[in-house]
């Protein structure tokens, strides 16, 4: 039998056990026809990534589920992997090259990609090693990368299929353009933030007259690209302008007045400028009316060469110059402060520009319908259920998805252009010549949106498009664990992709967690400087303490606060468990054999019944994804029931001269500890493994032990209820003695008045020990003198304690007199308020009722104080 160190040191335990688990292949899931599969695919962290608290929570929740299911006997597979993260990774590489004085163009595509793959080899595995520090029990033999050969093959097949089915097309449409990243981004990648801005009210002259038409804009610089103004066809104020033209200020050209129901007659003047190249709604108006598209911004948000004196200016510099010229020309009517939501790039925070561009798009409406239905009919459920609403909202209002990115790192679009005959060919295998005319072709320069490959993750990681054995056995997957912030980015796309390409929902449950915020409830960010490095927490307190902190108190879908106090509490719990295990093991003889004794005491039955109920409740909680509740119940049982009560009770038998009784206590102590370690293992795998493998009769690892099951024969309801009565009385006596300042070494007799003596007689030894009694007696009705006798009352009994020999009577009288005076003062204050008709009639009803309840409670307290004073004589 191994002896535990005096002090628990996570750093000496965690790496050791993790290496053992990996080397032994415990994380590897085998296909087994006799087992049910349970599969989780890890949301792939970016290869640019550093483990942050969001990752730590996400992976901890997944690990809890996979360890739980593994112990339940499932063929539990947790597929790990990383994402190539096109925009973020390329930005890192370009920044590194800039330090060397190099650009992408200096290197060319092939040499740049060589650098990118070298970068991936150097940094890509960093976050994987960090996940291992957290204790993630992933099947590392199946680790995947979104640009590995298998995943890339899946991407090409999907692109080709969608193109052949008419669901992918190339065309000019309004897209979101990031001037900093210099690439298009999808609607889901635009984050909106409220900014202070202005409405500039402009006057456009009506051609051939003296009339002006007033309209407003938040982006004056785009007016150079106006190709019309629009009014509602039924707006009588502007009927006389139908078919007429206005003159575009500063430019001097005439543009038409068009009638379109897009215009809101109630907003502003009921006239809007139409800039088809730089506004999605204007683009649609332009299509309906055949308007020209005039682009006035470059890819880096400067004015184009066609913008006259403003050419080359930054967009904000041009805005100032244009507003000044409008004012000088008499075209500026007024300026109105205006708060509005402005789209920003989710990667770099730069304000994005709606801009017309030729890109590749996926038609979303045909794909969204089945994905909506899969959630509505229950094939996929969100936990909590309320998160189906943002999902429905996104899918029901979805626009075509812009999937091309102006980047070199990523999956290159498999479209080939023949400059000779103009043919566009899409192929899942490389082309060098045109299938139509045989002349050389060139491949599209753009890459695919990172989310295009991530959307295939649940099945591409298992071998699709090949019909692999893993795919047959482990797909569809079961639980997707992710944050609410990527329901639109990723979850929705995986759902429609799984349904479209495999005819199956990719998972049955989407478990949503919230954000990890700081102690003040603020979102962790670099700008606030309030980020917390999980690795530093692990180094200081251990991975188990971090994991427990990230689950206890958490509920699906809700944000949680992280604080030093919480993680210290988790560390203290680990120490409490360690010390309890050390105590148990120090009291085990070398020839100890685990098992349950033939005869059980009331305390034994109580702890076993409590444990049995715990098993039932924790299993139910985990099945309902109530991870935080399950962890809290296990922690409470170990700390309160096992450590604070049962170990203390067991000491009576361990220290007795009855060897058989001592052996029985040891068997219960070990049996309960082993079961508790199993329940705790998914939450705190390292310390539970270290303790378990040191116990006599233990197997090689706790993680492959069978999950405890509820056993009806271990439900000792009557004995459990009886022992609870004894405990209640012990607590009440100890509280009274503490209030009176009585030292534990001072003992006195204890007389218990109760109609049900049996549990108290069975627990007499516990009452004597823990209620500090030198004599315990029982009666159905106490008839003795109450002078100088303290009383405590529980729901099942009343105890009488002669206190005169234990306390200083004069000091206790003084204490009670002071307490009585304070209570009388509070009662008088509340009585005055309640007798005040103004307060009673004007204050909210719940305030008045609360005051009445407090007054009644204070009166009851006063009565007890006065009774105690009388009892002192």
Using a 10 angstrom Cβ sphere, with 0-12 exposed, 13-18 middle and 19 or more buried, the burial of residue 325 is middle
| Helix (H/G/I), strand (E/B), else coil: 437 | coil
**Cα dist from 431 to 155, 414, 415, 424, 713, whole Å:** 17, 9, 9, 11, 71
Name residues whose C-beta falls within 8 Å of residue 21's C-beta, 6 or more positions apart in sequence.
Answer: 27, 137, 701, 703
Task: For tokens 């120090």, name the residue.
Answer: 586
- Asked whether residue 472 is marked as a ligand-binding residue, the answer is no
**Using a CB cutoff of 8 Å and minimum separation of 24, what contacts does 756-759 make?**
756/725, 756/796, 758/722, 759/602, 759/721, 759/722, 759/723, 759/725, 759/726, 759/796
**Cα dist from 704 to 134, 682, 699, whole Å:** 19, 11, 9
Q: What is the dihedral of CA 639, 643, 646, 649, to 10 degrees?
A: -140
Tokens at residue 475, please? 């797909």
Distance CA 841, CA 849 (A): 12
Task: Report the side by side order of strands in the sheet with 353-362.
Answer: 183-185, 168-178, 353-362, 401-402
* Residue among 570, 584, 580 at smallest CA distance from 635: 570
Please count the CA atoms within 13 angstroms of the CA of 435 that sit on its side-chain side.
9
Name residues whose C-beta falls within 8 Å of residue 71's C-beta, 6 or more positions apart in sequence.
Answer: 678, 681, 682, 703, 704, 705, 706, 707
Name residues whose C-beta falls within 8 Å of residue 122's C-beta, 6 or more positions apart in sequence.
Answer: none
* Residue among 614, 646, 647 at smallest CA distance from 715: 614
Tokens at residue 851, please? 């005051």
* Residue among 566, 488, 589, 547 at smallest CA distance from 192: 488
Region label for 301, one of left (φ > 0), alpha (ψ between -120 and 50) or beta (otherwise): left
Task: For tokens 């295009």, name the residue.
Answer: 452
Which segments are annotated as binding site? 526
Which segments are annotated as binding site for ATP? 526
């Amino acid at each position: 039998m191994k002896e535990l160190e005096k002090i628990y040191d996570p750093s000496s335990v965690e790496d050791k056990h993790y290496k053992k688990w990996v080397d032994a292949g415990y994380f590897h899931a085998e296909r087994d026809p006799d087992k049910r599969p349970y599969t989780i695919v890890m949301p792939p962290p970016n290869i640019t990534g550093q483990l942050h608290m969001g990752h730590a929570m996400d992976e901890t929740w997944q690990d809890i589920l996979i360890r739980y299911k593994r112990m339940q006997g499932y063929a539990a597979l947790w597929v790990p992997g990383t994402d190539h993260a096109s925009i973020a990774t390329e930005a890192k590489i370009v920044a590194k090259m800039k330090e060397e004085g190099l650009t992408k163009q200096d290197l060319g595509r092939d040499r740049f990609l060589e650098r990118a793959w070298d970068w991936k080899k150097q940094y890509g595995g960093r976050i994987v090693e960090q996940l291992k520090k957290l204790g993630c029990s992933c099947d590392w033999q199946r680790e995947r990368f979104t640009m590995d050969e298998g995943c890339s093959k899946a991407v090409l097949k999907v692109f080709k299929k969608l193109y052949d089915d008419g669901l992918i097309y190339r065309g000019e449409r309004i897209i979101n353009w990031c001037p900093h990243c210099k690439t298009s981004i999808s609607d889901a990648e635009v984050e909106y933030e409220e900014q202070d801005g202005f409405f500039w009210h402009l006057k456009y002259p009506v051609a051939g007259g003296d009339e002006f038409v007033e309209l407003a804009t938040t982006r004056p610089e785009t007016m150079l690209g106006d190709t019309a103004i629009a009014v509602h066809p039924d707006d009588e104020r502007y009927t006389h302008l139908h078919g007429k033209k206005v003159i575009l200020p500063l430019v001097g050209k005439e543009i038409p007045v068009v009638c379109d129901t897009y215009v809101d007659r109630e907003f502003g003047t009921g006239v809007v400028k139409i800039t088809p190249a730089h506004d999605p709604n204007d683009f649609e108006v332009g299509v309906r009316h055949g308007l020209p598209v005039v682009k006035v911004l470059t890819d880096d948000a400067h004015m184009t060469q066609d913008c006259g004196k403003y050419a080359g200016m930054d967009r904000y510099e041009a805005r100032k110059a244009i507003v000044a010229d409008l004012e000088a020309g008499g075209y500026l009517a007024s300026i109105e402060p205006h708060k509005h939501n402005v789209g920003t790039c989710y990667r770099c925070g730069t304000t994005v520009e709606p801009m017309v561009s030729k890109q590749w798009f996926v038609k979303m409406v045909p794909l969204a319908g089945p994905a909506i239905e899969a959630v509505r009919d229950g094939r996929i459920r969100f936990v909590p259920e309320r998160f189906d609403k943002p999902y429905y909202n996104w899918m029901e209002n979805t626009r075509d998805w812009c999937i091309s990115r102006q980047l070199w790192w990523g999956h290159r679009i498999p479209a080939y252009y023949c400059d000779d005959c103009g043919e566009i060919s899409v192929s899942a295998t490389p082309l060098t010549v045109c299938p139509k005319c045989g002349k050389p072709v060139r491949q599209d320069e753009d890459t695919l949106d990172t989310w295009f490959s991530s959307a295939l993750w649940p099945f591409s990681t298992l071998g699709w498009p090949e019909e692999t054995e893993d795919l047959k056995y482990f797909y569809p997957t079961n639980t997707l664990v992710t944050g609410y912030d990527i329901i639109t980015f990723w979850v929705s796309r995986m759902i429609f992709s799984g349904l479209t390409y495999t005819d199956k929902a990719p998972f049955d449950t989407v478990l949503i967690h919230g954000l990890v915020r700081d102690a003040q409830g603020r979102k962790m960010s670099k700008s606030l400087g309030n980020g917390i490095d999980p690795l530093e927490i692990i180094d200081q307190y251990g991975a188990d303490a971090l994991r427990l902190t990230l689950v206890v108190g958490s509920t699906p879908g809700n944000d949680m606060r992280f604080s030093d106090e919480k993680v210290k509490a988790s560390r203290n719990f680990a120490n409490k468990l360690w010390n309890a295990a050390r105590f148990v093991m120090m009291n085990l003889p070398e020839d100890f054999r685990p098992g349950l004794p033939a005869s059980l005491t009331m305390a034994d039955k109580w702890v076993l019944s409590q444990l049995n109920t715990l098993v039932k409740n924790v299993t139910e909680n985990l099945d309902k994804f109530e991870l935080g509740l399950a962890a809290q119940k296990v922690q409470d049982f170990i700390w309160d029931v096992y450590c604070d009560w049962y170990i203390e009770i067991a000491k009576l038998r361990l220290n007795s001269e009855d060897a058989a009784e001592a052996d029985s206590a040891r068997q219960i102590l070990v049996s309960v500890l082993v079961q508790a370690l199993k329940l705790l293992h998914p939450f705190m795998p390292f310390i539970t493994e270290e303790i378990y493998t040191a116990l006599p009769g233990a197997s090689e690892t706790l993680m492959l032990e069978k999950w405890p099951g509820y056993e009806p024969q271990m439900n000792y309801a009557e004995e459990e209820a009886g022992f609870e009565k004894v405990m209640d009385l012990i607590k009440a006596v100890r509280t009274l003695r503490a209030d009176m300042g009585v030292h534990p070494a001072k003992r006195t007799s204890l007389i218990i008045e109760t109609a049900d003596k049996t549990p108290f007689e069975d627990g007499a030894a516990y009452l004597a020990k823990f209620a500090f009694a030198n004599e315990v007696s029982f009666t159905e009705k106490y008839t003795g003198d109450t002078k100088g006798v303290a009383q405590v009352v529980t729901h099942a009994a009343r105890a009488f304690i002669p206190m005169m020999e234990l306390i200083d009577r004069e000091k206790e009288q003084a204490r009670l007199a002071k307490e009585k005076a304070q209570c009388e003062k509070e009662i008088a204050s509340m009585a005055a308020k309640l007798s005040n008709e103004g307060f009673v009639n004007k204050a909210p009803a719940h305030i008045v009722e609360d005051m009445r309840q407090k007054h009644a409670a204070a009166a009851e307290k006063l009565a007890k104080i006065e009774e105690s004073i009388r009892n002192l004589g």
